Amino acid sequence: MIEHEVLERVLATALRKGGDFAEVYAEDKSSTSAGLDDGRVEQVSSGRDRGAGIRVVVGETTGFAYTADLSEAGLRAAAEAASAVASQGGAGTRVVSLTRSPAHVVNRIEIYPDTVGKAAKVSLLQRVDEAARSMGGAIGQVSAGYADSRKRIIVANSDGLLAEDEQVRHILRISVVANGDAGMQTGFESLGHTIGFELFDQHDVEELARTAARQAITKLRARPAPSGAIPVVIKAGSGGVLFHEACGHGLEADLVSKGASVYRGKVGELVASPLVTLVDDGTMAGEWGAIGIDDEGHPSQHNVLIQDGVLTDYMWDHLRARKEGHAHSGNGRRQSYMHLPMVRMTNTYVLNGTENAEDIIRDTPYGVYVAKLGGGSVNTASGDFVFGMTEAYLIENGELTDPLREGNLIGNGPQVLRDIDALANDFAMGNPGTCGKDGQGVPVGDGQPTLRVKSMTIGGTAA
């Protein structure tokens, strides 16, 4: 994409007016998307985006510029713009010698998306539509979306680092609406991995569509969710987003340093049930947040954040690790070359326990079983959160009974971690997600085994 010698000269330009650190991040990304609604293909589009972002750091100040011009002249112009913040520093020449890092391959690709015709991609959507509608006359609407991307990145910096990665992702989303006497209900499923088009040979997309349809149909007989503080059992793979939002963000070093995290200053302390070990792992091959290197060129890692309930570490980007004298954790991520990197999660999950999931339900006389969580919000400084329940059931006498609707989970992340009193051995990852932070979105994964929180507040509508 950019020659080794060109990168060295661009970094020298970036540091010409002084500076503590300079970095070039370049990417070349191609993508395809297609959408289907009510049996009609609404759009099929493809695109390509390439460019570079250059940052120069002087003390506590960062200069950043980006360009879609990957010629040496274009890169040098962006480097000069970024280095303008260093105009007060001492001028001079700094030579940067780059050493290419060994490839850190996490994801193996068999079928690249650009080798597959658009007709085959549209066919996936048509198969999904037919499968969902085969579930009966209650199905009134089916929408499906397909997307793929192939992105190559290269990172070089004034410490001599030179690293490259290629990331290929495929995703399929299915939304189904069922109509009944009680109105309309929806079901949703998605499938996404950081692998090639072989994803759709490895998974049954028709069954995925039927699952979404069954969700919608089942919810037609849903009763209002109860209100109050009661035990909550969360299905394997369905509650990872809760840990991502309510706990994971609070373990990002930038929020910790700003005092915007409830976990500040608590390394070495018991912050969760001893049953809980929480990990962020960019090396989890094939998962949605899997990366070979982060967007600052550092190899992805398996980072244990909480071990047996004890907070062991935070997640770090380059600048905060450099300032604190801490090792990199591979968590510097950015949405694109037009954005600065920041501390972000990759695949965040809770490790397996030892119990049987069915036994956890059986040992719960009364409570709520959450099969799927929806969107939510969290205050990282306090840990308080609210999440919608998109699929949930009442637990009565140790058995799942009626489906529920119109309910929220309301709680506090640190308190939920402490109140986990049962953890199963059926670990699963959840749906692929996009994590938003400071206006940027990056792909992330999350997961957990079936678990029980001894008390959470349900915001339902039942009298």
pLDDT by residue (tens digit) across 243-276?
888 889 999 999 999 999 999 999 999 999 999 9
Gap between the Cα atoms of 24 and 154, Å rounded = 8
Q: Which pLDDT score, from 0 to 100, does residue 91 have?
A: 45
Q: What are the residues facing 199 on neighbouring strands?
A: none
By 3-state DSSP, what share of the chain in percent is helix, strand and coil, each rounded to 5?
20, 45, 35
Interacting residues of 258 by C-beta distance below 8 A, sequence separation 6+? none
The answer to whether residues 352 and 428 touch, using CB atoms and an 8 Å cutoff, is: no
Please name which of 121, 113, 185, 169 lies closest in space to residue 432, comparing C-alpha atoms: 169
Q: What are the residues facing 29 on neighbouring strands?
A: 49, 151
Q: Return left, alpha or beta for 136; rule: phi > 0 is left, psi -120 to 50 is alpha, else beta.
A: left
Tell me the two tokens of residue 36.
């289907």
For residue 194, the 8-state DSSP code is S
Looking at CATH, the fold of the domain delimited by 4-219 is given as: PmbA/TldD fold (3.30.2290)
Q: Is the pLDDT of residue 424 over 70?
A: yes
Parse the chain into domains and list their residue ranges. 4-219, 223-459
Q: Which pLDDT score, from 0 to 100, does residue 90 have?
A: 47
SS3 39: coil
The answer to whether residues 178 and 220 touch, using CB atoms and an 8 Å cutoff, is: yes
Gap between the Cα atoms of 290 and 347, Å rounded = 7
Q: Mean of the per-residue pLDDT values for the chain?
A: 93
Q: Which pLDDT score, from 0 to 100, does residue 463 have?
A: 53
Please name which of 293, 348, 347, 31 lies closest in space to residue 169, comparing C-alpha atoms: 31
Q: Which residue has the tokens 């206006």?
A: 439
Q: Which pLDDT score, from 0 to 100, does residue 183 have?
A: 86
Which tens digits make up the pLDDT trace of 179-212? 998 789 999 999 999 999 999 999 999 999 999 9
The answer to whether residues 223 and 458 touch, using CB atoms and an 8 Å cutoff, is: no
- Output the CA–CA distances (angstroms, integers) from residue 262 to 24, 148, 279, 350, 420, in the order listed: 34, 37, 18, 19, 18
Average confidence (pLDDT) over 9-21: 91
Which tens digits make up the pLDDT trace of 85-118? 655 544 445 566 678 889 899 999 999 999 999 9
SS3 58: strand
Helix or strand (DSSP H, E) at 343: strand 342-343
| 81 CB-side CA count, 13 A | 13
**Which string of DSSP letters, residue by residue, matches 391-452?**
EEEEEETTEEEEEEES-EEEEEHHHHHHTEEEEBS--EE---EEEEETTEEEEEEEEE--EE
Which tens digits make up the pLDDT trace of 309-351? 999 999 999 999 999 999 999 999 999 999 999 999 999 999 9
Indicate the burial class of 38 (C-beta count within 10 angstroms; 0-12, 13-18, 19 or more).
exposed
Q: Is the pLDDT of residue 453 over 80?
A: yes
- What are the phi and psi torsion angles at 50 (to 5°)? -140, 150
Q: Where are the alpha helices (H) located in 239-389, listed in sequence order?
A: 240-243, 253-257, 318-324, 357-362
pTM: predicted TM-score of the whole model, two decimal places: 0.94
